[in-house]
Structure 1
Amino acid sequence: MSRSVVQRCCVCGHESRIESSKIISDKLKLLYCGCKDPTCGHTWVTNLEFSHTLSPSALKLPEELREKVKTVPPAQQQNLFVSQ
């Protein structure tokens, strides 16, 4: 299920559009927004910022381990990472 994030105007509550953006770093992007209600016309900047990781990327694993994971059934894959 795919969902879109809708940014709303903090003045009138109408939907907004992202007019442009500026990448500050690999974890921070500024979104320049404008209210879609022409009678409001409010414009603002929203920060889109990385917060924290929920599940680490498999790309950070050594190639040898990634290949081994592919050979194990999905139900048993997490057992490869349990300390004994």
Structure 2
Amino acid sequence: MSGPSRHQEAIITPGAAKTTTPVSVDAPIIERRYAELDHLTVAFETFPVDVDAAPWFAGLRGRPRRPRCSSPMPSRSRER
């Protein structure tokens, strides 16, 4: 039997792909693409040249060896 049965509903999961998400920033050092999925934003970022991106992520909350995103949304992973 293929497809959902009479008693099941199909679950549609939102998704995004880099190849189909339009470019929103096209700068010499970075290309950014953003897709809105329900209440989340998915970002695809490409660095076409060799860049040290560490300074951009300095100051994120968390332990120095495991920095976390500063977004207010809850994390699905647990600290170990």
* TM-score normalized by the length of structure 2: 0.29
The structure with the largest helix share of the pair is 1
TM-score (norm 1): 0.28
